[in-house]
Amino acid sequence: MAKTYIFLGPPGAGKGTQAQRLVEEKGFVQLSTGDILREAVKNQTELGKKAKEYMDSGKLVPDSIIIGIIKEKLQGLQGKDIILDGFPRTIPQAEALDTMLPEVERKLDGVILFQVEDNEVIKRLSGRRVDPKTGKVYHIVFNPPPEGVEVIQREDDKEEVIRKRLDVYHSQTAPLIDYYKQKGNLVIIQADRPPQEVYNALINVIK
């Protein structure tokens, strides 16, 4: 059966950075709800118009919209090893996923919690920059973009929005830690280490 992992953790924990590497080196498909929504906003689709205000203010997009997106994507990814990056983010999303997985012939192989303190998250997010052409993620201090690569700052990586997103994480997403602990699926990774060390820890889990 194809592998299915969830990357859980606060915004800025390094989930996307590590997922990109697993895509390049291990053939995983990264399913990032944040990326899907940003693409929709950029293309001004119906989805993008609905999602933009929530995203810019650091709130979660309503569950019904997100669950619909994931359902559609999962149907198109049968047989592929996947990483769910940034989904689920609420208990109702997790419950919907539990129902969905058997319908697409999957089971959960593990939920990997990227553990990082809030002050580190703030440093990472405030310095995050993205190459809009490739989607590659950089950091002005920890991983500066190569010469000649033009990068932008995300709207929601501004200081006030970062704090709001952290609040939202603690109130709405952190309850998933217990949810998956109880199911016996949770693996904790210390993510406040250099990217290579985090990757090594990940590879030990994803065999």
Residues that bind ligand AMP (CB under 6 A): 11, 33-34, 37, 54-55, 58-61, 66, 86-87, 89, 93, 156, 165
Q: What are phi and psi of 192, to 5 degrees?
A: -90, 50
Question: Which of 11/14 has CB closer to ligand AMP?
Answer: 11
- Known active-site residue 154: yes
Kindly give the pairing relationship between strand 137-139 and strand 110-115: unpaired
Q: Is 15 a catalytic residue?
A: yes
The question of whether 165 is a catalytic residue gets the answer: yes
Residue carrying structure tokens 């198109």: 76
130, 128, 133: which is closest to 157 by C-alpha?
128
Return the bridge partners of 83, or none: 5, 30
Interface residue with ligand ADP among 57, 143, 172, 185 (CB under 6 A) is 143
Q: Which is nearer to ligand AMP, 14 or 86 (CB)?
A: 86
Under a CB-based contact definition with an 8 Å cutoff, are residues 151 and 131 in contact?
Answer: yes
Does residue 15 bind ligand ADP (CB under 6 A)? Answer: yes
End-to-end CA distance of the chain: 14
Cβ contact 156:52 at 8 Å: no
By beta carbon distance, the residue nearest ligand AMP is 34
Confirm or reject binding of residue 124 to ligand ADP (CB under 6 A): yes
Residue of the chain from 4, 5, 8, 13 that contacts ligand ADP (CB under 6 A): 13
Q: Which stretch binds ligand ADP (CB under 6 A): 71-79, 100-108, 120-128, 144-152?
A: 120-128
Among ligand ADP, ligand AMP, none, residue 5 binds (CB under 5-8 Å by kind): none
Strands 82-85 and 29-32: parallel
Quote the strand ranges of 1-155, DSSP E: 4-8, 29-32, 82-85, 110-115, 128-130, 137-139
Compute the least distance from the CB of residue 69 to ligand AMP, in Å.
9
At 12, list the tokens: 């800025």
Q: Does 128 bind ligand ADP (CB under 6 A)?
A: yes
Selected range binding ligand ADP among 49-57, 103-111, 122-130, 171-179, rule: CB under 6 A = 122-130
Here the tokens at position 44 are 């001004």
| List of residues contacting ligand ADP (CB under 6 A) | 11-17, 124, 127-128, 137-139, 142-143, 194-195, 198
